[in-house]
Structure 1
Amino acid sequence: MMSSALLSSIVSALLLLFFLFNTPSNAQLSSTFYDQTCPKALSTIRTSIRKAISSERRMAASLIRLHFHDCFVQGCDASILLDEAATSTSERSALPNKNSARGYEVIDTAKAEVEKICPGVVSCADVLAVAARDASAAVGGPSWTVKLGRRDSTTASRALAESDLPSFQSSLDQLISNFGAKGLSTRDMVALSGAHTLGQAQCFTFRDRIYSNGSDIDAGFASTRKRGCPASGQDSNLAPLDLVTPNSFDNSYYKNLMQKKGLLHSDQVLFNGGSTDSIVSEYSQNPSTFNSDFASAIIKMGDIDPLTGQNGIIRKICSSLN
């Protein structure tokens, strides 16, 4: 006959196994994360983002880029939103972000609106992820189901921002490696690069390309771009990344690449006799495939090293620590 002590030990072991196998992972994000704690969070963010983009359509590109630049540094943890007063290693002053990353105040406003209805519940990292989706949808791009439950970091890393973010001078191999290090495939990289169907770039980022007289750039396109970007000076002059439909999310970006009209070196390398030519060609012919792949890739990007569970904090103001 089994002793009571042994029976008790077996029951305890079984209960422990049940607990281990039925406790959700801290790393698990869920689209329904705020359904009970802040059911109006997503609609509140959407209203705020639409208002900002209706005031300045270019803001859609800035918000998508801000989410991308956040996730590639320390994971999707809103570290990019911390300003210099919050951390001496603010990512805002890193070379890829300084005087170019925009939209901080839009995220701050959206977060403030959410704080009014659910104080201390919704993370800045989640506000940024939702804002990127709403920005895309607002300018005719794809929508997607955002997974939620991220928490905010208490640190930022200027050094990682300067080492991990892709450069406008990157080669194809560098881009593939850079995205691969974050768990993103070559196809994900080409799809996410399609965000350059929106937004603008500063003269200094494409000057070398338009004055190169290279075989990988259309001469007429280069001549047009030179009008607003002299051989020296006026470094901050802006030009649209997509000359055809600069304020609409579509597949013109890929058509431009096939015509040697990519503005940045890191754009044109996607269609320059390399391994990604076929993907560019496919997206140029099938906008629905591009939209679908972009949505899948940005969801995947949103899964990069999130802080969940007891890790991180919920910042009350996105630019500062509590």
Structure 2
Amino acid sequence: MGLSKSFLVFFSVLTLAPFCLCYPAGSSRGGYLYPQFYDHSCPKAQEIVRSVVANAVARDARTAASLLRLHFHDCFVKGCDASLLLDSGNGIVSEKLSNPNRNSARGFEVIDEIKSALEQQCPQTVSCADILALAARDSTVLDGGPSWEVPLGRRDSRGASLSGSNNDIPAPNNTLPTIVTKFKRQGLDLVDLVALSGSHTIGLSRCTSFRQRLYNQTGNGLADSTLEASFAAQLRQRCPRSGGDNNLFPLDLATPTRFDNLYFRNIVAGKGLLNSDQVLFTRSAATMELVRLYAENNALFLEQFAKSMVKMGNISPLTGSRGEIRKNCRRLN
């Protein structure tokens, strides 16, 4: 399928137009996010985050994907406000108990370690929400992905939303229209959706997240016809019809710990692990063209991923006097 001239013009405008890293947080909310936010109040903040993340990833390579995922799952619920990090108690029901996070969200101890180091250096200055944003960027870089300046100045929420976590985060078995709707609610478009889905170039997924594709995709007892047959057979060896729910599989079989465009090449070959991956190539001409573009041009994917991460990181931040700077990311002050 060739790329239409009109689509390429549309895409080049979205991807190549200059963009500002200093985002207004909303006229009624006051405050801006900007990369130099801690230059005076905590000048070593980014260095501290980078160091702790590097040590954590050296201990466990999977940590990079886990920290990147935490930022996604935080921002899609109530905005990028570290609500995900709160434990249950004192009237809070933790988002960690939601279906997208229970038994799968990880990396919280690394965030604790970063926060502890920052509290020693500059007490009650750097927010947990900004830690999540910085850790996501540093994790991406450590796995060979792009770097970007992270706009900073977020504050931490005083509440969580279990229902929001259950309803707003895209799920592995969602249809493409549902995924598109969930992204649009956050102000993210199709280009953002496809580029950010590219985060699945690293990390692992549980058998329970894609089992239906192997055995009963549409309720007729048959496998997903868009799943390449030999790949499906390989997956069935460790993901049986029942049991083995927590058996882990790389989201990108080719280069599971390298941040690159092999994720998109896998999708083109019918080897996307999750239904939410493969539908980008099979259910929409627009997303299919984007998948093809990124599969053919790694540099273009990395450039757009960085831009879309900055855009996602600006979802409804708390600034000014709203929220608080938590001393401990797991509980309110």
With the length of structure 2 as denominator, give the TM-score of the two structures.
0.88
Q: 1:151 aligns with which of 151, 155, 163?
A: 155
Q: 2:258 aligns with which of 236, 244, 248?
A: 248
Aligned residue for 1:15? none
1:238 and 2:238 equivalent? no
CA distance in 2, matches of 1:268, 1:34: 41
Opposite residue 254 of structure 1, the aligned amino acid is F
CA distance in 2, matches of 1:25, 1:151: 12
Q: Is the 8 A contact 2:176 2:283 kept in 1?
A: no
Q: 1:69 aligns with which of 67, 73, 91?
A: 73
Q: 2:60 aligns with which of 48, 56, 59?
A: 56
Task: Please report how far the alpha carbon of residue 320 of structure 1 lies from its aligned counterpart in structure 2 after TM superposition.
Answer: 1.0
CA distance in 1, matches of 2:209, 2:125: 39
CA distance in 2, matches of 1:314, 1:269: 40
- Where does structure 1 lack aligned partners over 5 or more consecutive residues? 1-22
Aligned residue for 1:178? 182
The DSSP-based 3-state class of the residue aligned with 2:245 is: coil
Task: Please report how far the alpha carbon of residue 25 of structure 1 lies from its aligned counterpart in structure 2 after TM superposition.
Answer: 7.0
Q: Is the 8 A contact 2:212 2:223 kept in 1?
A: no
Aligned residue for 2:214? 210
Q: 1:262 aligns with which of 257, 261, 272?
A: 272
Q: 1:319 aligns with which of 317, 323, 330?
A: 330
Structure 1 or 2, whichever has the larger Rg, is 1
The DSSP-based 3-state class of the residue aligned with 1:115 is: helix
Deviation string 1:148-168 (CA, Å, 9 cap, x unpaired) is 000000100000101111011
Aligned residue for 1:271? 281
Task: Please report how far the alpha carbon of residue 171 of structure 1 lies from its aligned counterpart in structure 2 after TM superposition.
Answer: 1.2
Aligned residue for 2:298? 287
CA distance in 1, matches of 2:204, 2:214: 15
1:32 and 2:33 equivalent? no
1:44 and 2:48 equivalent? yes
With the length of structure 1 as denominator, give the TM-score of the two structures.
0.91
CA distance in 2, matches of 1:87, 1:101: 22
Aligned residue for 1:8? none
CA distance in 1, matches of 2:36, 2:29: 15
- Where does structure 2 lack aligned partners over 5 or more consecutive residues? 1-26, 216-221
Q: Is the 8 A contact 2:48 2:114 kept in 1?
A: yes
Percent identical pairs in the alignment equals 49
Indicate the RMSD between aligned Cα atoms, in angstroms.
Answer: 1.3
The DSSP-based 3-state class of the residue aligned with 1:73 is: coil
Task: Please report how far the alpha carbon of residue 210 of structure 1 lies from its aligned counterpart in structure 2 after TM superposition.
Answer: 1.9
CA distance in 1, matches of 2:49, 2:241: 42
Deviation string 1:8-45 (CA, Å, 9 cap, x unpaired) is xxxxxxxxxxxxxxx99724101110011000000011
Task: Please report how far the alpha carbon of residue 86 of structure 1 lies from its aligned counterpart in structure 2 after TM superposition.
Answer: 5.3
**Number of equivalent positions:** 300
Task: Please report how far the alpha carbon of residue 185 of structure 1 lies from its aligned counterpart in structure 2 after TM superposition.
Answer: 0.7
The DSSP-based 3-state class of the residue aligned with 2:68 is: helix
Opposite residue 227 of structure 1, the aligned amino acid is Q
CA distance in 2, matches of 1:80, 1:178: 18
Opposite residue 262 of structure 1, the aligned amino acid is G
Alignment of 1:82-161 (within 5 A): 82-85=86-89, 87-161=91-165
CA distance in 1, matches of 2:234, 2:89: 42
CA distance in 2, matches of 1:222, 1:59: 27
Q: Is the 8 A contact 1:87 1:156 kept in 2?
A: no
Q: 1:308 aligns with which of 306, 316, 319?
A: 319
Task: Please report how far the alpha carbon of residue 233 of structure 1 lies from its aligned counterpart in structure 2 after TM superposition.
Answer: 0.9
CA distance in 2, matches of 1:128, 1:49: 11
Q: Is the 8 A contact 1:76 1:125 kept in 2?
A: yes
The DSSP-based 3-state class of the residue aligned with 1:318 is: coil
Aligned residue for 2:239? 229
Task: Please report how far the alpha carbon of residue 172 of structure 1 lies from its aligned counterpart in structure 2 after TM superposition.
Answer: 1.2
CA distance in 2, matches of 1:178, 1:88: 24
Aligned residue for 2:19? none
CA distance in 1, matches of 2:224, 2:312: 34
Task: Please report how far the alpha carbon of residue 98 of structure 1 lies from its aligned counterpart in structure 2 after TM superposition.
Answer: 0.4
Cα distance change of structure 1 residues 24 and 285 upon mapping to structure 2, 3 Å threshold? same
